[in-house]
Every structure is written in structure tokens, then in C-alpha cells.
Amino acid sequence: MSSKRKKHVCEECGWHCVGDDKILKAKDPFYGYGELWACPKCREQSMVRACDYPYCFRPTSSGIPLNGKVLFGKKYLRLCSEHAVWLDKKMKEELG
Ligand SMILES: [Zn+2]
Ligand SMILES: [Zn+2]
């Protein structure tokens, strides 16, 4: 298993996983393409990507490009609000 497997978290109940094989999936009946994802614990369609920071499973909604740097094996990170602040600070420190 690769450490690059994406983390997901349920915004409703906090259930989380690495990779997406435990998430309930169904073909989208409205559009006929794509998938609807639901949490296997609470059955809500509230699975979102979790923070890319190691051991952090807080929900994220946006991604931050690293301007050519690689962190945690990625060139682009999705971070929770706390780690977005952490990254912003780190980038500023590295720029001097
Ligand atoms: Zn849930
Ligand atoms: Zn985080």
C-alpha cells in the first residue's frame, strides 16, 4: 500500500479512512456518470478529502499548490484550516 493513498473523512460523524475502498459508492442516478459516495457508518453523503498533513483527518475543501516544492510526496496539498496556516507560515519562512 502506498503512503500516497488519499485520506477521506465524514463531515457528519467523523469516520475516516485511508484510500477509498471502504466508502459506499453508487453510480449517480441523476447524471449517469460519476459516483455518489456515502459514509459506511452514518450513511450520509458527507465524505470529503481529509487533510494531507500526516495523522490529521480534519476535512478540507480546497487545495494549495506548492509552487514546485514537494511535501509529503505531493506537489499539491489539501489541508485543513489549521495546516493551511502552518503551510503559509512555512512557505514564508523558506522564502526568507
Ligand atoms: Zn459518517
Ligand atoms: Zn490538518
Q: What is the pLDDT of residues 19-67, one digit of tens each?
A: 999 999 999 988 888 899 999 999 999 999 999 999 999 999 789 999 8
CA of 15 to the centre of ligand 1 (A): 5
CA of 32 to the centre of ligand 2 (A): 34
Residue with cell string 489539501: 78
- Prediction pTM value: 0.84
CA of 90 to the centre of ligand 2 (A): 14
Ligand at shortest distance from the CA of 52: 2
CA of 40 to the centre of ligand 2 (A): 22
Q: What is the DSSP string of 5-71?
A: PPEEEETTT--EEESSTTSEEEE-TTTSSSEEEE-TTT--S-EEEBPSSTT---B---EEE-TT--B
Q: Which residues are registered as beta bridge partners of 48?
A: 9
